[in-house]
């Protein structure tokens, strides 16, 4: 199975490693042509404004939207969640594939970073979440399932085959969400 990783900016290498550890063949996606052959896609953490600017510049926005609407599973972490959201407080939406409102950098500055183990629906072990200048999901639409919460706020959400987390599991070698998304591919 080929697992794409949007490789424009951010921690895409860590996502590629997580997919490889989960048994998939990672493919770095930088152009619409790279996107054609992948079975799923991870949108990494990083700087959402930069990822958005580069995705537009490389003509990736519509192809990613089209593949998602056709059922391709997508995983977004941290900045990836921001790019997937329909509404962004303090920023502009990019892909608009998740009926959520997110607030950028809501968990504080870099010095406020923390790690926590989370129970995520559909994953049989605690998922280690690394929160670094993380977005907060402020509101979820009716079609969105909350798969995990932390201190009352949703931190993993899913709508159809789009899954997003407010944190970085990939930074600590956590593959639970990557395996979850690969399972969505297998179930199609």
Residue 139 is a catalytic residue: no
Task: Give the model confidence (pLDDT) of 103-158 as tens digits.
Answer: 987 776 666 688 999 999 999 999 999 999 899 999 999 999 999 999 999 999 99
The token duo for 188 is 């199609």
Q: Is residue 40 among the annotated active site residues?
A: no
Which residue is catalytic, options 14, 15, 78, 174? 78
Question: What is the predicted pLDDT for the residue at 187?
Answer: 81
Contact 27, 4 (CB under 8 A): yes
Per-domain residue ranges of the chain = 2-186
Does the annotation count 14 as an active-site position?
no
**pTM for this predicted structure:** 0.95
What is the maximum alpha-carbon separation in the chain?
Answer: 41
- Tell me the pLDDT of the chain averaged across its residues: 95
Q: Which CATH class is domain 2-186?
A: alpha beta
pLDDT tens readout for residues 71-91: 999 999 999 999 999 999 988
């Amino acid at each position: 199975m080929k697992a794409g990783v949007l490789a424009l900016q951010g921690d895409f290498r860590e996502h590629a490693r997580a997919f490889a550890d989960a048994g998939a063949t990672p493919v770095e996606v930088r152009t619409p042509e790279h996107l054609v052959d992948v079975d799923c896609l991870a949108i990494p953490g990083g700087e959402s404004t930069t990822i958005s600017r580069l995705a537009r510049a490389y003509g990736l926005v519509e192809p990613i939207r089209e593949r998602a609407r056709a059922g391709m599973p997508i995983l977004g972490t941290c900045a990836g969640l921001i790019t997937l959201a329909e509404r962004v407080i303090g920023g502009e939406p990019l892909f608009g594939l998740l009926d959520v409102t997110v607030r950028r950098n809501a968990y504080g500055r870099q010095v406020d970073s923390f790690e926590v183990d989370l129970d995520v629906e559909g994953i049989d072990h605690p998922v280690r979440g690394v929160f670094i200048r993380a977005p907060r999901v402020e509101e979820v639409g009716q079609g969105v399932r909350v798969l995990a919460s932390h201190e009352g706020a949703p931190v993993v959400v899913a709508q159809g085959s789009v899954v997003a987390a407010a944190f970085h599991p990939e930074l600590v070698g956590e593959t639970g969400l990557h395996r979850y998304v690969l399972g969505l591919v297998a179930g199609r």
